[in-house]
Amino acid sequence: MEDTVTTSTAWLVLGATSVLCFAIKVLGYFIPEAWLAHPRLQRVNALVPISLLSALVMAEGLVDKTRVVIDHRVGGLLVALALLFAKAPFPVVVVSAAVTSALIYHLH
Among residue numbers 33 through 52, which ones bind another protein (CB under 8 A)? 33, 36, 39-40, 42-52
Tell the smallest beta-carbon distance from residue 68 to another protein (Å): 6
Which of 28, 70, 86, 107: binder of another protein (CB under 8 A)? 28
Q: Name the amino acid, one letter, at 92.
A: V
Please tell me whether residue 63 adopts helix, strand or coil conformation.
strand
Does residue 105 belong to the site contacting another protein (CB under 8 A)? yes
Residue 62 is given by DSSP the state T
Chosen residue from 1, 70, 86, 107 binding another protein by CB under 8 A: 1
Distance CA 93, CA 85 (A): 10
33 Cβ contact list (under 8 Å, min separation 6): none
- Asked if residue 82 binds another protein (CB under 8 A), the reply is no
